[in-house]
Amino acid sequence: MKYFLLTLFLTFQLAGNAQTVQSPQKPPAQVEKILIQSMFDFTNAWAVSDTATLAKLLTPEYRHSDIFGKIQHKKEWLEFAAGKREIADLKISDVEAVMYPGDIAAITGIMNYLFGAEKTKQSLRFTQLLGRYSGKWKRIMFQATLINQ
């Protein structure tokens, strides 16, 4: 009987200390529109190497994981983004946004474009994490995976 009562007591203690994890939710239409516009603004600034705009849209702790698995921090990535690139026919599709508690949002989608002078077609599946800082949405993290053609 002692073991039963001890087990019951420990079960109630553990259950009382457990935290509930909230599931992501679809953002309200107005917020979703702002999130997706932020993503497009960022992508267009990247395509033309506009690092002044990019720097304003990144958090100080920004992390970028490219298609080769390389991790870059904000300063390193901005140096990379400053380089001249030839991007044509940029299209983003299959976009979905979800919200998490604490003004955090995740956006997923597919990016297609022609790259370089050779106009090589590249397709990426991406995930972006954004946070609201002083009322403005900024990118916290980006991860891309090359889609095999």
CA distance 19 to 144: 32
Average pLDDT score over the chain? 85
Per-residue pLDDT tens over the stretch 119-128: 889 899 999 9
Average pLDDT over residues 89-111: 91
Q: Confirm if 120 and 114 have CB atoms less than 8 A apart.
A: yes
What is the pTM assigned to this prediction? 0.78
- The CATH class of 25-146 is alpha beta
Cβ neighbours around 115 below 10 Å, total: 15
**Top mean-pLDDT range of 6-20, 48-62, 112-126:** 48-62
Of the candidate ranges 56-60, 75-79, 85-89, 138-142, the one whose mean pLDDT is the lowest: 85-89
Spell out the domain ranges in the chain. 25-146
